[in-house]
A and B are shown apart, each in its own frame.
Chain A
Amino acid sequence: MNRHATLGTGHEDEAPGALAVLAAPAPSHLADDVLVEVGLVDRMAPVASPLGTLWVAWNGRGISEVEQATDGAEAAARHEARSGRRTVLADALPDRLADAVARRLAGERRVRIPLDLRGRTEFEVAVWTKALEIPAGEVRPYGWIAAEIGRPKAVRAVGTALGHNPVPLIVPCHRVVRTDGTIGQYSLGGPHNKRTILSAEGLDPDAMETAARRGERLSGSTTTRIVCWPTCRHAKRVQDRYRVSFRSLREARSRGYRPCKICRPVAVEPAA
């Protein structure tokens, strides 16, 4: 019968591929899905933030970049140029990633966000990992990161690494300020944006800079005799009448104060 023609009627070996009519091409998105999953192609989608719409690039390894751009095409083009990977625009992040990013932007530190940091140096990754320890509503100087990662003299390199942070806001490099207490530079659109984010996290950048200019680099409690970075959650709890300021850790120690074990103030000198 004609309708059985594809099957043939004789020995099957005479007609290899006789059932080729059953070939079923993969849906067109499948190839890109695979390439994204293994990290050879990135997707990019808009995400709301205190700085307005940001463009977030990701692949199966994690988030690879956060960009500020006028539109997706510009963001994708820049990301392609920087990463060397084809970048496909998408409507939104995958649900789990979107949820994690929203919670991180809302100040939750413990939410895990996978990052694709291929090609970055061990030093850069150490700096960014340390910056992740700074809670929302607090700041630390560059020198603190340098000391904490065991490279106390690398203050300037810490600043450079933070400037190269590919995932600002996700890795909160905005919470790292200059050792002299001024707000300092910011990679995502400049210092103005840094102030905006710090304000959104409950800090007053102008007041912080004014205090720093007065030489108030550290904050102690006369009742506990513990000295903290001024924005440490424990320092902020101290009532005004028990609060005392110090110019340096040496000064605090000489007056019998010990460093807070949570914010771990260290003796830092401004970068030369």
Chain B
Amino acid sequence: MDDTELVLRLAHDLDGSFEALVRAHVDRCHTIALRVTGNPHDAEEIVQDALVRAYRALATYEPDRIRELRLRPWLATIVLNLCRNRARTRTVPSTPMAPLVDAGWEPPADGTTDPASLALEGAERDRLAAHLAALPDRYRIPVVLRHVDDLSYAELAQVLGRPEGTLKAQVHRGLAMLRASMAGTELEELTA
């Protein structure tokens, strides 16, 4: 069921179709929370809290409002707000290096079945995640939404409340910083 059909069902019968929303969006909400906070424990709590808040909000919305909802950016907004609240109240910085495997990640079945190459991919992914986690929020969050979650720039603008042009520049710079950091070079050195 795609989101267009899902919002129609939610508007008609929230309790009967909320489980479908959860099943359809729980993994991407978790991905966003994990890549933004860098902490698997925080990510789990944030996702649970976000989806519970989504349910409670939907319970107060008129059916027309639910039908017009764009679920992907709407849920991303709730998740991000909770990530920000948590960052604000946290006194000790989170550890961004927590391995993905702890968060239940399993390699995709893409035909690459050689265990050695899978392990290499896993290690590479962890390294990529760690470098991403080290980016400043201003760049990391747009990069996560655009390139990990695959939101459009129009949706990014809606979620982050910044102009599309600004976001394109931030994503561009964020990816450049990521590439530089993966290559072991400070971007500042490259662009100074």
Return the CB mask of B67-89 against A: 1 if under 8 Å, else 0: 00000000000000000000000
**Structural contact, A40 and B18, CB atoms closer than 8 A:** yes
B interface residues, tally (CB under 8 Å): 46
Whether, in the assembled complex, A82 has its beta carbon less than 8 Å from a beta carbon of chain B, the answer is: no
How long is the Cα–Cα vector from A37 to B179 in the complex, in angstroms?
41
Question: B100 touches which one: A13, A20, A24, A40 (CB < 8 A)?
Answer: A24
Chain A residues 70 to 122 lying within 8 A of chain B, measured CB to CB, are none
With a CB–CB cut-off of 8 A, which chain B residues contact A25?
27, 30-31, 104-106
B47 touching A26, Cβ below 8 Å: yes
Q: Does A262 contact B (CB under 8 A)?
A: no
A34 on the interface (CB 8 Å rule)? yes
Of all chain B residues, the one with the shortest Cβ separation from A28 is B104
> Are B103 and A12 in contact, with the CB atoms below 8 A?
no
Asked if B90 is an interface residue, CB under 8 A from chain A, the answer is no
B19 is an interface residue with CB less than 8 A from chain A: yes
When each residue 29-40 of chain B gets 1 if its CB lies under 8 Å from chain A and 0 otherwise, what string results? 111001100000
Q: Contacting B29 at CB < 8 Å: which of A15, A26, A27?
A: A26
Q: Is B138 an interface residue (CB 8 A)?
A: no
How many residues of chain A have a CB within 8 Å of chain B? 33
| CA gap between A21 and B52 in the complex, in Å | 27
Per the 8 Å Cβ criterion, residues 131-152 of B in contact with A are 132, 143-144, 146-148, 150
Q: How distant is the Cα of A33 from the Cα of B15 in the complex, in angstroms?
A: 15
Partner of A24, one of B52, B103, B147: B103
Once the chains bind, are B172 and A38 in contact (CB under 8 Å)?
no
Task: Check if B148 sits within 8 Å of A23, measured CB to CB.
Answer: yes
Is A3 a contact partner of B150 (Cβ separation < 8 A)? no
Q: Across the interface, do A17 and B48 meet the contact criterion of CB distance under 8 Å?
A: no
Interface membership of A200, Cβ < 8 A = no
Extra contacts, 5 of them, besides A4-B179, A24-B35 (Cβ < 8 A), are A19-B143, A20-B147, A23-B28, A27-B104, A60-B52
